[in-house]
Structure 1
């Protein structure tokens, strides 16, 4: 007997619900009473949310992805974990979505995604965007800037942020603002077909600026050291990471130096109705908690 759409489950699918972004988006949708299908690698790790059905699949397993996506109309696609074959996983998953009859993909991309982007992983995001455009499905791209929550983690044990970023600036944006923007799109996807949104914070900061904000809010002695590219590769060699990963780490900074993460957008506020959080506000909130 042919299964009905009700048998297949909700027609909104959310990936990454066991991670920070997908988890925030899925939780917000559940709090609003929205039915959704959570696509996860391991069902035992899926959050227990009201009106949520759980399906197991991976981006790289096309057959499993097609089964999990059967009956889905709108798909929220968080980019896969950083790994050498991430782009191929993205392309496989997009093909599975098209084959399953998905109508619209909302994809989490990266600010300034382009084939010649300095940040190596931004090139993969551009290739994924192009594959989505060619798939026949409707699309919406959410291009995130650097995460402001990550800034604290860049400070070494000696209180120094190191990288070859020069005086370049990045419009760092919070996890919560990205998630709220995504939910706004998913609640009315038809209004956002064919749109690309640049999700940024309210200001563009150099790494020296970021160090100063951390210093002022926390009282820590934090500074920025502008490495040469050669110094950057040498200082990261001790981690024993593969070449592609080290290239991604270093090119995060060189992309900032090249001005490719500069520029403040009002897209977060237009989508959510709220001004995005600044780095200072984030740190003040974090360090005021008991």
Structure 2
């Protein structure tokens, strides 16, 4: 029996890698995004999560939905639209990509909004699985590459540690679940790397593969907020991103989970390997 998987956010960091891994596994996968931009080698659909009326059509014929939401002020509304459309289209299982520390009662704004969406999915009446990845290793080649090339990493995270996880591992776990969703129904998995690292640790590991010193500089919250305002970042995003920074600084992102190892049957990719694989991005 055919099993059709639709991946939302297919042009993003997780989505691109996930579609590639599902395609390699021979899955019947549909790539979707707000723009409907084509993805090589797979069927592509436009699925604008803000278009509540049009989503059910985009989800027609889909058995399992991978729900990945953009981090923006209306993301709870977008999640509600997606769940309602999934019900209308007869989707049988939702795999929701959440975030570390998701909890409606979290002291951190980012945890509260992710937890609210997790609860919405869990109470939808559709079979579900939730994955909660910690901070991406790939952030150091997307958001922070320019700083690293200049020799320093400036972040308002104090001496906090995080169990950074490689997006390749996140996608591998999500793919394994999407290929056999019934085996994971009702489960929530915490996706982390194999160690909790401070930004000083990270800078040292990146410096080691570059063969030069990279320094971590802890930035004050006020300076980070001012920098984001100057860059035109909206107030909701500033508050939410700063809550993530405070979460890391407080040590609330440091827990190491065995879920990646259990689900993949191997150790998570260590930061040293990630750095070696991406060293060209920092040269």
Normalized against structure 1, the TM-score is what?
A: 0.88
In the other structure, the counterpart of 2:25 is 32
Structure 1 pair 221–15 and aligned structure 2 pair: CA distance change class (3 A): same
Gaps of 5+ in 2: none
Shift of 1:126: 0.9
User: C-alpha distance in 2, partners of 1:263/1:202?
Assistant: 10
In the other structure, the counterpart of 2:249 is 257
User: C-alpha distance in 1, partners of 2:214/2:79?
Assistant: 38
In the other structure, the counterpart of 1:210 is 202
In the other structure, the counterpart of 2:43 is 53
Count of residue pairs brought into register by the alignment: 279
Post-superposition CA distance 1:195-225 (Å, at most 9, x none): 1111111111011111221222213332222
Equivalences for residues 133-144 of structure 1 within 5 A: 133-144=122-133
Is the 1:118–1:254 Cα contact (8 Å) retained in structure 2? Answer: no
1:191 is aligned, of 178, 183, 195, to 183
Shift of 1:276: 1.2
User: C-alpha distance in 2, partners of 1:172/1:119?
Assistant: 18
User: C-alpha distance in 2, partners of 1:251/1:235?
Assistant: 16
User: C-alpha distance in 1, partners of 2:85/2:173?
Assistant: 26
Q: Which moved more, 1:148-157 or 1:278-287?
A: 148-157
Shift of 1:154: 2.9
Is the 2:34–2:46 Cα contact (8 Å) retained in structure 1? Answer: yes
Residue 78 of structure 2 is aligned to residue 89 of structure 1: yes
CA RMSD of aligned residues (A): 2.3
User: C-alpha distance in 2, partners of 1:62/1:196?
Assistant: 27
User: C-alpha distance in 2, partners of 1:125/1:13?
Assistant: 21
Structure 1 pair 165–103 and aligned structure 2 pair: CA distance change class (3 A): same
Equivalences for residues 65-84 of structure 1 within 5 A: 65-79=55-69, 81-84=70-73
Shift of 1:288: 7.2
2:229 is aligned, of 206, 228, 237, to 237
User: C-alpha distance in 2, partners of 1:148/1:119?
Assistant: 21
Structure 1 pair 83–288 and aligned structure 2 pair: CA distance change class (3 A): closer
Post-superposition CA distance 1:121-149 (Å, at most 9, x none): 33221111111111101110110100111
User: C-alpha distance in 1, partners of 2:208/2:30?
Assistant: 44
Is the 2:8–2:47 Cα contact (8 Å) retained in structure 1? Answer: no
Is the 1:202–1:276 Cα contact (8 Å) retained in structure 2? Answer: yes
Structure 1 pair 287–194 and aligned structure 2 pair: CA distance change class (3 A): same
Structure 1 pair 195–207 and aligned structure 2 pair: CA distance change class (3 A): same
User: C-alpha distance in 2, partners of 1:58/1:75?
Assistant: 14
User: C-alpha distance in 1, partners of 2:180/2:216?
Assistant: 42
1:273 is aligned, of 265, 268, 272, to 265
